[in-house]
Structure 1
Amino acid sequence: MNKLNYIDLFAGAGGLSEGFIRQGFVPIAHVEMNKEASDTLRTRVAFHHLQQKQDLTKYYSYLKQDIPRDKLWNSIPEELLESVINEEIDDNSIKNIFFKIDTLLDSKKVDIIIGGPPCQAYSLVGRSRDPNNMRDDKRNFLFRYYAKFLVHYKPKYFVFENVLGLLTAGNAKYLNEMLELFSEIGYSADFKVLKTDEFGVLQKRKRVIIIGRKGKKKFNFPELNTIENKWEIKKDLFFDLPVLKPGQEMSVAKYTKQANEYLSKTETRNGINYTTQHITRNHNERDLEIYSLAIDRWLNDRERLKYNDLPKRLQTHKNTTAFLDRYKVIDPVGHSHTVVAHISKDGHYYIYPDENQVRSISVREAARIQSFPDNYFFEGGRTASFKQIGNAVPPLMAETIANKLKHLLMNG
């Protein structure tokens, strides 16, 4: 097929982009304001370039920490590194970002724009924590910059991703304003709430996806291929990773078992015998005791431990009426609850489901829950990696969307 080009705005760690690359799309540029996420994108750009050359030796050497990052990055064309634009999109930067992308395009056209602005301003949790309900948060209006990219590059389609709270933020004011703005600039758009576990992701996560097509003709959200997802966290997703103690870091973790159907089918395992960043937090004795209680209650009674059920000696907050579910165990026989960026602050909401491994989940386990392949490397250390993973779009869901958009673009 003819190569289809795209731009990824507010790209994060590249989960949405990864799905499009798997379907043969070519990224012209990724725009991302966070330094660590931009570094992650550059490392992934290096992976895809070396994979195309059928020589991943340097990439695997980097994963094993045999060579520094500069040596990996310097092994690919400079324009590929420059295609990751580490800038915040605002009034001061947008013309310069256009100039950089125009230079990278070099007369090629943009077929599609993808991306989703930071979601805190629309999220229910974010609004509940802000005394002004996020009404004055500038992130409410980042979609207007997204629209400027549509005007400038005139892609045939766009994909806009955000949190479920977009449907209710400002009594749907922002969603309606988005759809009206997209219409004014010449795009017919429709939206749908997608459940990630219908696309093979072992996570209960809902996201609002808006897809728009250039032209006035009414566009209806396309039918996506979904699957029956009977796989389980413990026996299908975590089973081959080495045992970890709290605070233990396995920069290189060799698999303990052969790949199973799920890991092979989803290309989580990539043909090598190890993964990276199997790293978990250290925990104090109090937290470990609480984790043990939470694990016991969930595994044996299928009940969540409530904060006010804790022995008084383990309670450090006087508030025993709100946020009672401060501690949550990953469901081993089902799918995980939603992984969010708060995982970067503590692991209380993501406890590993095993009384023999009392700890919170590792960076690699969180990445697997989000359906990132095992050779995906997150830059910036443990905390930055958790934040990038929590903010990401699961690549498996993104790939299904990309597959549908590819067919729409190829068939007019």
Structure 2
Amino acid sequence: MDLLAQPAADTVHDKIKRLLCGGTPRMLDLFSGCGGLTTGFTRAGFTSVGGVEFDAHAAASYARNFHSGDKESHYGQARDIRELDLEELLGTPKSRIGTAVDVVIGGPPCPSFTRVGRAKLREVMDHPEAFKLDARTTLFLDAMRVIEQTKPIAVMLENVPDVLNQGGRSVGDEMAEYLSGIGYQVSYTLLNAANYGVPQTRDRFFLMAFAAELGARPVFPEPTHWLEIPKGYKSSRDVALRLLGDLSSHPFYRPPSEATPDLTPAVTAQQALGDLPRLVERLSRGARRFDTPLPTPAPKQMGAFASTVRTWSGFENTGSVSDHVTRTLSERDLRLFAAMKPGDQYPEAHALATSFWEKAGGDPARLREFVPPYDPSKFPNKWRKMEPDAPARTLMAHLGKDTYSHIHYDSSQARTITVREAARLQSFPDGFQFCGTMNPAFRQIGNAVPPLLAYQLGKAMRSGIASAMSLDVEATAS
């Protein structure tokens, strides 16, 4: 791959000409997952020409939501970007690949970029710097190859903040430098989803690039909501930015616009989930089915967030949801969830459990009936009961194995969140369908870019393209 090769000017100019004539930007989503980015970008006026996703359940969800019909099986195939056949995916001869895609978006897998991921890799691979050996660390190079082949006029890439400080290496800067070297104007920043209407504090890296022919530098969206970001997120951001040096003179980093208290307050967990049916029935053990509709009548008074996810064009709530299901819980955990206070984490839960055990007689033989087996000093964040009047904390991909990080704030329900509630906290519209069983659905949601944030990013990208082409696209973005 020649990273110094410039985008073919004629190809880029042809795409600009097509958009000037009223064409819709055609986007290709790399590492698409189930389609969080695509959900927001389609609302902002883009059209999907396909997604590239290795996970079979996520690929099926992507196709179900964006390419249902005769070609759903084609678009729903799991594909490895390292062996990607663009001609086969796009149904386009090799000579025409450069004309088939206007925008490339995506988020390379991030486990080896995160501190949690690094620890897991070291454990599995028994190497002190195993994260540097993980093949997923270099998948962004395959994204660069696809960008060179498709020659988009704009690019949007997402990742965890630690992509800027991966063991003393800034992969974010490497991506920016590569794109700059092949003819793009590049900017990146860190944005928190809670500042854009998502009921979740979630910090992520976003890179936006425009083909030099546009003559414009990317600009990121202004915050729409106010939240005093918790200290832990601020310190993690500081660690991620440490390698960049003087931020005021960095060639690619753009500090995000500050949210101010005069903005709409951040969407809370209760505003996100309060209109969904209460679940108090304790289900028997076994697989949870997604195909049983549960009525979701609209409340007399409905907040802006609930209204948005219920009425999202193309993904409307038609009166029910079929994935409002959760895990089977033990009596021990039901007892604890009911007694925990909002904001309580595992150490508080463990102390409560110990007190219940002592009140029951303190019989060592019955200890595990009351007390979970995890050391509270080693697993302080393993459990957390959400606060009704604040956004949820970050949803992780391991929701597929452990939802105790998001215990419902309502003590009378005494449970972890459902698949649909996780989707709500990630701002997926109610009509979005997840393929697979419960664990794969949770994983898809935890891995996704929040669609509402993606929508704001998509609008900012379209606005930047339109400004550069003197084309008003506001009427086409719903």
TM-score (norm: length of structure 2):
0.73
Maintained 8 Å contact 1:254/1:273: yes
Q: For each residue in 1:120-141, what CA deviation from the matched residue of structure 2 results, as whole angstroms up to 9, or x when unmatched? A: 1112211132323512111100
Counterparts of 1:396-407 in structure 2, within 5 Å, are: 396-407=452-463
Q: Write out the 4+ residue segments of structure 1 that deviate beyond 6 Å after TM superposition.
A: 104-107, 216-219
Q: How far apart, CA to CA, are the structure 1 residues paired with 2:270 and 2:224?
A: 19
Maintained 8 Å contact 1:8/1:114: yes
- Alignment of 1:140 with 2:137, yes or no, is yes
In structure 2, do the counterparts of structure 1 residues 386 and 264 end up closer, same or farther at CA, with 3 Å as the change threshold?
A: closer
Determine helix, strand or coil for the equivalent of 1:282: coil
Maintained 8 Å contact 1:291/1:327: no
Counterparts of 1:103-182 in structure 2, within 5 Å, are: 103=92, 108-131=99-122, 132-133=128-129, 134-182=131-179
| Structure 2 residue aligned with 1:32 | 53
Would you say how many aligned residue pairs link Structure 1 and Structure 2?
375
Moved more, 232-241 or 133-142: 232-241
Counterparts of 1:279-358 in structure 2, within 5 Å, are: 279-294=325-340, 297-298=341-342, 303-306=344-347, 309=351, 310-311=353-354, 313=367, 314-317=370-373, 319-358=375-414
Superposition deviation, residue 102 in structure 1: 5.4
Q: How far apart, CA to CA, are the structure 2 residues paired with 1:288 and 1:371?
A: 27
| Structure 1 residue aligned with 2:231 | none
In structure 2, do the counterparts of structure 1 residues 173 and 108 end up closer, same or farther at CA, with 3 Å as the change threshold?
A: closer
Percent sequence identity over matched residues?
27
| Structure 1 residue aligned with 2:310 | 268
Superposition deviation, residue 172 in structure 1: 3.3
Maintained 8 Å contact 1:253/1:274: yes
Tell me which of 157, 182, 187 is aligned to 1:185.
Answer: 182
Q: How far apart, CA to CA, are the structure 2 residues paired with 1:409 and 1:126?
A: 36
Q: How far apart, CA to CA, are the structure 2 residues paired with 1:225 and 1:191?
A: 14
Gaps of 5+ in 2: 1-21, 123-127, 226-263, 358-366, 470-478
Letter in 2 for 1:283: L
Superposition deviation, residue 43 in structure 1: 1.2
- Alignment of 1:408 with 2:464, yes or no, is yes
Pairwise CA RMSD = 2.5
Q: How far apart, CA to CA, are the structure 2 residues paired with 1:160 and 1:118?
A: 11
Q: How far apart, CA to CA, are the structure 2 residues paired with 1:167 and 1:335?
A: 26
Letter in 1 for 2:57: E
| Structure 2 residue aligned with 1:53 | none
Maintained 8 Å contact 2:338/2:413: no
Q: How far apart, CA to CA, are the structure 2 residues paired with 1:395 and 1:278?
A: 19
TM-score (norm: length of structure 1):
0.84
Maintained 8 Å contact 2:98/2:150: no
Tell me which of 253, 268, 274 is aligned to 2:294.
Answer: 253
Q: How far apart, CA to CA, are the structure 2 residues paired with 1:329 and 1:318?
A: 17
Determine helix, strand or coil for the equivalent of 1:331: coil
Superposition deviation, residue 226 in structure 1: 2.1
Moved more, 248-257 or 189-198: 248-257
Tell me which of 426, 429, 433 is aligned to 1:370.
Answer: 426
Maintained 8 Å contact 1:10/1:118: yes
Gaps of 5+ in 1: 47-72
| Structure 2 residue aligned with 1:51 | none
Superposition deviation, residue 185 in structure 1: 2.2
Maintained 8 Å contact 1:189/1:219: no
